[in-house]
A and B are shown apart, each in its own frame.
Chain A
Amino acid sequence: MNGLMDLAIRKCDGAEIFSIEQNENSIRFEDAKIKYLQSTMQSGLALRLTKNGKIGFAYTKNLRSNEELIQNALSTLKGGVDAVFEFPRTESVPALNSYDPSIEQMNNAMMVDECKRIYQFMENKITGQLNITAGTTVTNIRVGNSCGTDLASRSSNYYITIMILYPGSGTGIHQSLDLKNFKKVDDSFMNELADLYSKGRKEIKTTGGRMKVLFLPDAMYTLIWRLQSATSGESLYNKQSPLADSIGKKIFDDKLTITNNPLDDNHPGARAFDDEGVACHELPIIDKGELKNYYYDLYYAAKMQAKPSGHGFKAARWGGDRISMKPVPTLGHLWIKPGNTEFWKIVQSMDRGIIVCGALGAHSGNIPNGDFSIGLSPGLYVEKGEIVGRIKDAMIAGNIYSVMNRVAAIENKNHVAYTGYYPAVLFEDINVAAKS
């Protein structure tokens, strides 16, 4: 990396090198049969150069020649992308405990044994089919630039997702663990999953209408995606945000506090700096319903004449090869402040309503406008405070600026969920369309 940097800065005004090395193992069991066991050993290097007010970009998976990569980046300068920002000088960042070295002692046989143990434990508790996905990832990232920034991060991750399928479908009740190293799944975790599954076994048809809807943590991303879109510096610059000029305004129910905290190393994936070498920090997005901050990468911060907030990550909603991506404003470490009500007490408070365990089609509504319209995958139906079955053929729809102003209750603890760590949240008066 140092040789590449030395060569690059001789040929341009500024340079930035991002490198990543990632080793992964993943395993999947379906219906107690092992389906696959696969590994990857991937690396990559991306170079951004600035010269005469323009910025160039190149990347490679195998650095065979420094000169070739630099020439490749230089050749893109003639395209004329404006270099509207300067690379940051970040001298130091907090040391995070993002890597647990004991993950190196772990092997794939341990994951196989854990999956078999879970099957044995659940065998007499459920009638549905059980699928398990587990895996490990060790990631090394380094970001350096010609202003003297040279930062490195190492992180470890062990994850496991258990899904119990309802008969005749690919839908079911699921729950995940996301840790820095291997840990056996607790009995209570499996018992809670089996209990929720059993309560939804009966298939129910009901009429639509407006009712209470409880979003489980893994369905909350439906709403969070729309908030992420609206508070991004990219959306603000592109006039795609309904929250422009709304800092300090109350936009949600005052029970809602939503924060992005990359420094929280209790969970895997903590980061002290973003993929552009800007220091990360805790950023309140919503505080008691009030919009507190937008978030930026270097490019959109410059465009909006704002301060980079340390949210420039090489990320995309549908994955992709990180090395080939340009950084974009990204909220990757979200957290919703828990409420004070136990999960089952929230369920008991519902006279009639739906529990959304998973969302189907959360990406296909009008995200910038805050609209959502999702299938239930599955949705459990609640009457008089009890789950009476799972609802068939229904959708729920709404707009987050209306729905998230009608929070009835928030669960008193957070769970690992897609896009963050969330509690279950109960909303009032949501529109349900159903084939009765």
Chain B
Amino acid sequence: MFDELKSILTKVDADYADIRHETKKETRITFNGKDLTEIGNNTTDGYVLRVIDHGGYASIAFTDPARHEQAINTVLQNARLMSSAAKQPVIFKKSPVIKDRYSPELREDPRDISIEEKLQLTRKYNDIIMKNEKIATTNVGYIEQARQKTFLTTEGTEIQEELVTTRISGLITSNDGKLIQNVRVAAGGSNGFGILRDREDDFEKRAGIAVDLLNAQPIEGGCYRAIVNQSLGGVFTHEAFGHFSEADIIENNRSMREKMKIGAKLGSELVSITDDPTLAGKLGHYRYDDEGVAAKRTELLKQGVLVGHLHSRRTAASFDEPLNGHCVAEDYRYAPIIRMGTIFMEPGKNSFEELLRMLGDGYYLIDAKGGQTSGENFTFGAQYGYMVRNGKIGAMVRDINISGNLYSTLSNISAIADDLKFSEVGGCGKGQANIRSCYGTPHLLINNLIIGGK
């Protein structure tokens, strides 16, 4: 593959060019209720070519290698148009030339396991859920993606890296004839098939929660103190803060860029946030990003003060900040954009029980159900929660959506527990899906959360 890509790159008459080829092998098995509705292995591939010419930057994604000359012509025309239209030339921050091949260590390579065994395991977990008579249906599936990436630049970088992701996840729906409720279930990671084994208790517990929700009370809308668990805290960290640490989000937004200046005091001194794609074994692990830059542990917020941004080569140059290897594509259909790898909040010193006592009266909100940001404002859902009175967990509540402002919420974090936990499956949708987006926090105690209620 290196030779084929080199032969394409030599035809590109530009100041800089890089090309990435990816082969993506995907296995999918899906159950809807008791019905098996999908099973299969497939392999697809494609190319992404990026160029800089006279300060103009453009990219093209194409699937048919026979059309590579058309792709080269198109991307060069676009780059020259960019060059004439742009006020500032695009410059890539200088990055060391790398020649490397990397495959992460896997605890059981899923490609060595038969599709029959994968079907058997998925069916077993689905059956555990479906045995509960109040479960109306499931949408539970096994998804495995093995991406083989080959990346070359005209600067001399040559990298091959494998990314292997597995998960058994989905939605469990309960229905008592009057009310429909659902919860998500997920097991997975990027460190092999082993993480999917022996998870029977997790699937059974999630089915139980879906059924319990049928008897839960809707939460009353209002402004509350609440403890959020690791999943919900992780979504807050990712959605509300993490996206604003991505330099391409703030680079052209005058007011946000001012607010997100290095050294800005953004939150409580208790809060420190880091992104680290080098954490092997975590879902978000990779060694090189899709610009051939080595991933680096990057401190973003230290004791409430902003100390870093996530960068591509282009934004690192325009911000004049260090490279940290966070420019990643979903697959061969896309040019890379800045993404989080494994973002997490550093643990505090309190136990969860201490947080409950500090809360007194309020809510304990559990597990993320999607989130979205718009500027400094965010909204995300919780799958379920409990009323807390005098520090004791009480009745279950449902229909929970939280809204807030990034800066005030960061300041309103009044205690952080010592129980940091990372997500096993991801699904960030910043233009492209990133199923390897990983996040984590400990339990957090937050004041003044707006809850939409019903």
Contact = CB atoms under 8 A, between A and B. Distances in A.
Contacts of B411: none
Given A171-B374, A395-B401, 13 more contacts: A33-B88, A41-B63, A41-B67, A42-B62, A62-B65, A112-B81, A169-B256, A366-B398, A369-B181, A375-B378, A377-B374, A378-B374, A397-B453
B29 A363 contact: no
A361 B42 contact: no
Contacts of B400: 373
Interface of B: 26, 29, 32-33, 35-46, 57-65, 67, 70-71, 74-75, 77-79, 81-82, 85-88, 115, 119, 136-137, 139, 173, 175, 179-182, 221-223, 249, 251-256, 259, 331, 333, 335, 369-381, 398-401, 403-405, 427, 429, 433, 448, 450-454
A39 B42 contact: no
A296 to B, nearest CB: 15
Contacts of B180: 240, 242, 366, 368-369
A56 B380 CA distance: 38
A378 B373 CA distance: 12
B32 A238 contact: yes
The majority secondary structure among interface residues of chain B is strand
- Give the bracket for the number of chain A residues in contact with chain B: 35 or more
Contact of A42 (B37, B46, B179, B378): B46
B36 to A, nearest CB: 5
A363 B369 CA distance: 8
A236 to B, nearest CB: 11
B333 A373 contact: no
Q: 7 closest Cβ contacts across the A-B interface? A: A170-B375, A364-B381, A361-B379, A169-B375, A79-B39, A375-B379, A373-B452
A396 B252 contact: no
A148 interface: no
A41 B60 contact: yes
Nearest to A73: B40
B78 A37 contact: yes
Interface in A318-377: 318-321, 323-324, 326, 358, 360-366, 368-369, 371, 373-375, 377
A80 interface: yes
Contacts of A238: 32-33, 136-137, 139, 173
A433 B404 CA distance: 11
A360 B62 contact: no
Contacts, number: 280
Interface in A226-273: 234, 237-240, 242
A378 B82 CA distance: 32
B405 A393 contact: yes
A375 B333 contact: no
Given A59-B42, A169-B375, A364-B371, A434 B62 contact: no
Contact of A33 (B64, B86, B335, B452): B86
A294 B255 CA distance: 47
Nearest to B448: A435
A69 B115 CA distance: 18
A52 interface: no
Contact of B255 (A38, A73, A168, A435): A168
